[in-house]
Amino acid sequence: MVLKTVRQSAGRWAFLIGIILAVLFGAIGTLSTWVLWVLIIAGLIVGLMNIADEEVSPFLMSSIILIIASALGGNILDVLPLIGGILQAILVLFVPATIIVAVKHVFSFAKH
């Protein structure tokens, strides 16, 4: 019980920190290597710790839509560096989280 609460708390903090960093550094336009790694690691933590079994389908649907919108929006809105940078940073955060949740979901099918 306590481990589950700690895990959820860590996942929530990783999500919150990841979103704040994505918006902040995306707006500044500074997606250096260390910022990319922080966003990737935050995304992995979110995918591993933050999504419960009953949240998998809504998370995957929402994150896939967000990834598509960020990728296409980043290309279309490239003339507005502020928005384009934020969308690219959000992409870096959500792609690892989505992959982890999708893989975990596929493995849950193998268990049954």
The 10s digit of each residue's pLDDT in 48-83 is 887 888 889 999 999 999 999 988 887 777 677 788
Per-residue pLDDT at 9: 77
Which of 51, 62, 58 is closest to 10 using CA atoms?
Answer: 51
Residue 91 above 90 pLDDT?
Answer: yes
**Domain residues for 24?**
2-111
103 conformational bin, left if phi > 0, alpha if psi -120 to 50, beta if neither? alpha
Residue 112: predicted pLDDT:
65
Structural domain count of the chain: 1
Of 74, 60, 96, 61, the residue nearest 29 (C-alpha): 74
Rounded Cα distance, 35 and 112, in Å = 39
